[in-house]
Copies of this chain bind each other. A is one copy, B any other.
Amino acid sequence: MSQPEQDDLLRKASDWWSTSIIDIHPGKIAVRGYPIEQLIGNVGFTDMIWLMLRGELPTRGQSALLEAALVPGVDHGPHAPSIAISRMAVSCGLPVNGAMASAVNVLDDVHGGAGQQCMELYRQIDAEAGADGELVDSAARVLERRRAAGDKMVPGFGHRFHPIDPRTEPLFALVDRAVTVGVVAGRYARIGRAVESVLRNTRSRPIPMNIDGITAVIFCELGFEPELGRGLFVLSRSVGILAHAWEQKQQGARIKGPMPKEIPYSYLGPERRDLPQRSDPKPR
């Protein structure tokens, strides 16, 4: 290979892993341009989450609102598959990183995607309304179109366990305060309320905003892309996943199944039967 070809190839190899996030040289680390030694002790963990995901530091107000949204998602008890899986995993011998991996993995579309889907819904309504559209009407049209397309569930609204989600109102109060002091604009808070209003008027039973609906308001207000809404939820729930892994390790079970062995599972397959003689010829 000629030297220019080698130059090209080595440049291509360097570009293969190009990033705008972190710059590292022996003895020097800079995150988004900021030397690590200046960040340590001067910015909080939530600031760092923002800086890593967005490229710039948040204002104090933005950081406080994001931080508040990270708090209530940490756990929803061992009936949640993510938590149960974490606990089962340590009983199989995994260290906490492994238990967290198996558990975080299941925060997928159904178990961890409602916030992201709700952000997408809010943004559809935002686009539908345009600059000066009425939000309730826009929300109604968007929800009607979704319903017509077969989408009966509204992500971020209703909860199969809580008639009223106790996490919604306190977070909404923080959003309102952030709007008042100009930290966020309030557009998505109004969109969220518009959806609530439409659901109140069109559904027979109440479908109030849940934790996913209000964190979607916050993440949209703060300018996060929907998929990062899922990512932020994963960061939050990882705390609970770790805490339960650790508690289970203290409790010390081995090969913990989903229920006590004394409760048998139902077998619905064929009765015991003998292996048939296979009559077709062995190939080759």
Are the CB atoms of B21 and A259 closer together than 8 Å? no
Contact of A166 among B9, B27, B42, B266 (CB under 8 A): B27
Would you call A92 an interface residue if the criterion is a C-beta within 8 Å of the partner chain's C-beta atoms? yes
Cα A244 to Cα B265 with chains together (Å): 14
Are the CB atoms of A269 and B23 closer together than 8 Å? yes
Would you call A79 an interface residue if the criterion is a C-beta within 8 Å of the partner chain's C-beta atoms? yes
Q: Which residue of B lies closest to A75 (CB)?
A: B22
Are the CB atoms of A227 and B39 closer together than 8 Å? no
Q: Which residues of B contact A14 (CB under 8 A)?
A: 263-266
Are the CB atoms of B60 and A269 closer together than 8 Å? no
Are the CB atoms of A263 and B92 closer together than 8 Å? no
Are the CB atoms of A278 and B59 closer together than 8 Å? yes
Q: Which residue of B lies closest to A265 (CB)?
A: B17
Q: Contacts A34-B273, A106-B102 given; indicate if A80 touches B161 (C-beta within 8 A).
A: no
Chain A residues bordering chain B, tally (CB within 8 A): 154
Would you call A206 an interface residue if the criterion is a C-beta within 8 Å of the partner chain's C-beta atoms? no
Cα A252 to Cα B162 with chains together (Å): 22
Using a CB-CB cutoff of 8 Å, which residues 28-79 of chain A contact chain B?
28-46, 48-49, 52-53, 55, 57, 59-61, 64-65, 67-68, 70-72, 74-79
Would you call A276 an interface residue if the criterion is a C-beta within 8 Å of the partner chain's C-beta atoms? yes
Given A19-B267, A21-B77, 20 further pairs, Cβ under 8 A: A15-B266, A18-B268, A20-B267, A21-B243, A21-B269, A24-B76, A26-B161, A33-B271, A40-B71, A45-B67, A48-B71, A52-B74, A78-B258, A93-B108, A97-B106, A97-B231, A102-B103, A102-B105, A231-B242, A235-B239
Are the CB atoms of B75 and A31 closer together than 8 Å? yes
Cα A166 to Cα B26 with chains together (Å): 9
Q: Contacts A27-B162, A78-B265, A79-B265 given; indicate if A238 touches B240 (C-beta within 8 A).
A: no
Which listed segment binds B: A81-89, A118-126, A132-140? A81-89
Q: Which residues of B contact A3 (CB under 8 A)?
A: 3, 6
Using a CB-CB cutoff of 8 Å, which residues 160-204 of chain A contact chain B?
161-167, 169-171, 173-174, 181, 183
Are the CB atoms of B100 and A104 closer together than 8 Å? yes
Residue-wise, chain A 1-20 has the 8 Å CB interface mask toward B (1 for contact) of: 10100110110111111111
Can you report 24 A-B residue pairs in the complex whose CB atoms are below 8 A from each other? A9-B260, A14-B265, A21-B247, A22-B76, A24-B267, A26-B162, A38-B274, A42-B275, A45-B45, A45-B71, A61-B281, A89-B105, A92-B112, A93-B108, A93-B112, A96-B228, A97-B104, A97-B105, A97-B112, A97-B234, A100-B231, A102-B106, A227-B246, A227-B249
Q: Which residues of B contact A24 (CB under 8 A)?
A: 76-77, 79, 161, 267
Q: What's the least CB distance linking A257 to chain B, in Å?
A: 4
